Amino acid sequence: MDFTERSDPLSLFNEWLNDAKDKEPNDHNAAALATVDAKGMPNVRMVLLKGHDQRGFVFYTNFESAKGREALGAMKAAMGFHWKSLRRQIRIRGPLEMVSDEEADAYFNSRHPQSRLGAWASDQSRPLAKRDDLVARLQEMEAKYGTDDIPRPPHWSGFRIQPQSIEFWQDGEFRLHDRIVFSRDAAFNADSETGGETGGDTGWSKQRLNP
């Protein structure tokens, strides 16, 4: 079926992500994450998508980093995926919510011990005089916590983008690309949390766009 005829953007996203897993040599789940600072200036950087379901798209960060501060300040973000090998792109926008402590703990504990220690050692986004200082801090954390039962820092957790729009783009010959955007209003997220009538795929509208 032509992807522009699909009615469920979340299942389509899953299919495209799985296609990318088979084609992309590195980090098929990498995405550009856009946030805005207190002055309204945009910021963008690459992150890894660490979960997605009907509720939205999850990434993790240090809340004291620029990314974390901006996410907490605006509680909205955008995410863009580009898979060059497949000539496909997906854009997602929406408000943010924090993941639960249980979700954050489960993901944190799945990470390599050195990555967990790094979450304690790094004052992310803040000035660093020299790399040796970071290495020394990492060694301090290893001496303190070991490499087994490393707790999650209180300033480290995740956000979920609750999508209000998801746009799919497929490269076309002579730049006649295929673009389709799925949209839903903010009421969908609240209703879906409580089992309201607008939950499920009925919350989405679809429109084809000019390339």
Residue found by looking up tokens 């673009």 in the block:
179
CATH fold of 3-112+155-209 reads Pnp Oxidase; Chain A (2.30.110)
The answer to whether 161 touches 77, Cβ cutoff 8 Å, is yes
In sequence order, the 6+-apart residues with CB closer than 8 A to the CB of 180 are: 3, 4, 167, 168, 206, 207, 208, 209
> Percent of the chain scored above 90 by pLDDT?
86
Residue 13: pLDDT band (50, 70, 90) is very high
Q: pLDDT digits over 158-168, tens only? A: 999 999 999 99
pLDDT of residue 139: 96
Measured at the CA of 35, the angle between CA 8 and CA 9, to 5 degrees, comes to 5
Mean pLDDT score, 169-187: 89
The answer to whether residue 175 is catalytic is: yes
Each residue's pLDDT tens digit, 126-140: 999 999 999 999 999
Query: Are the C-beta atoms of 8 and 52 separated by less than 8 Å?
Result: no
How many whole angstroms separate alpha carbon 91 and alpha carbon 157?
A: 23
CA 55 to chain centre: 12
Q: Tell me, what's the pLDDT at 95?
A: 98
pLDDT in tens, 181-210: 999 976 555 444 433 333 344 589 999 999
Predicted local confidence at residue 185, as pLDDT: 75
**175, 179, 184, 208: the active-site residue:** 175
pLDDT at 37 over 80: yes
Sequence ranges of the domains in the chain: 3-112+155-209
Dihedral, CA of residue 44, residue 50, residue 53 and residue 58, to nearest 10: -40
* Percent residues over pLDDT 70 in the chain: 91
Backbone φ/ψ region at 44: left (φ over 0), alpha (ψ -120 to 50), beta:
beta
